[in-house]
Amino acid sequence: MRRPLVAGNWKMFKKIAEAVEMVATLKPLVAGSTTVDIVVCPVFTSLHAVAQALKGSNIEVGAQNCYPKESGAYTGEVAPQMLLDAGCAWTIIGHSERREYFKENDEFLNEKLKYALATGLKVMFCIGETLAERQGGKMNEVLKRQLTGGLQGLTEADFGRMSIAYEPVWAIGTGLTATPDQAEEAHAFVRSVVRAQFGETVADALRIQYGGSVKPENAAELMAKPNVDGALVGGAALKADSFAAIVNAAG
């Protein structure tokens, strides 16, 4: 049985005071949850304050991105070591918004993934096809390419500290959720690719989160599917009550 992982990707929302207030409200709403791993991913400027506010709770903190160097002349970037220092346990890598707006490719994402894992961060690694790719019958091809390039060189131990988030680009922020059957089909395919490349043990243990317009109303149905092991939530993670409802739907 894989333990569900439910994470909130806050994207570029919330200043420090709003972020701290949100997690103060969230904490008691999910305090009784003992069967789900819970993560919130605020913007960089709020990470330390949120991590302090969540000390001793059952909610971990994640960043939304990182750079694969310890320090140096990389203006505007943040090292995984600095994220650990700020109180993060996790980082997201490979979100479609980073792939699209910041032109991050599979090779660079693979470098980031390996580096972040080596520093001790846990990683949610995002993949997903666009609407044009899906309609053109290229979904499996795209997912396989993102997995093959993105996961290259990982060891079995690495997989124990990461999840994959399947986020169809057409479902992100659009209100168009994949149906539970569409999510299950894609997740089963992702697991089969991982099985073929890294073996049965890795594939069976790997958590695959679904992301894309997850809400309290559809979360339970999506996460009831055998290959859907949690959620990566955008808009509905910005409010404590809706995020808590999704967490509580997971376990």
For the annotated catalytic residues, the residue numbers are: 95, 167
Q: How far is the CB of 72 from ligand 13P (least distance, A)?
A: 28
Specify whether the CB–CB gap between 53 and 94 falls below 8 A.
no
The 8-class DSSP code of residue 83 comes to H
SS3 state of residue 141: helix
Give one word for 48, left, alpha or beta, with left for phi > 0 and alpha for psi -120 to 50. alpha
Q: How far is the CB of 6 from ligand 13P (least distance, A)?
A: 11
Residue 213 binding ligand 13P, by CB under 6 A: yes
Out of 33, 139, 234, 242, the only residue in the binding site for ligand 13P (CB under 6 A) is 234
Give one word for 212, left, alpha or beta, with left for phi > 0 and alpha for psi -120 to 50. left
Site string for ligand 13P, 127-166 (x = CB under 6 A): ----------------------------------------
Q: Which is nearer to ligand 13P, 105 or 174 (CB)?
A: 174
Report how far apart, in Å, the C-alpha atoms of 113 and of each of 48, 49, 120, 158, 174 are.
22, 25, 11, 10, 27
Out of 167, 182, 194, 243, the only residue in the binding site for ligand 13P (CB under 6 A) is 167
Residue 232 binding ligand 13P, by CB under 6 A: yes
CB count within 10 Å of CB 92 equals 23
Q: Which is nearer to ligand 13P, 190 or 236 (CB)?
A: 236
Residue 212 binding ligand 13P, by CB under 6 A: yes
Residue 211 binding ligand 13P, by CB under 6 A: yes
Residue 94 binding ligand 13P, by CB under 6 A: no
Q: Which residue is nearest to ligand 13P (CB)?
A: 234
Q: Where are the alpha helices (DSSP H) in 123-211?
A: 131-135, 139-150, 156-159, 180-198, 200-205
**Residue 208 β-bridge partners:** 164
For ligand 13P, how many residues bind (rule: CB under 6 A)? Answer: 14
Residues near ligand 13P (CB under 6 A) are: 9, 95, 167, 172-173, 211-214, 232-236
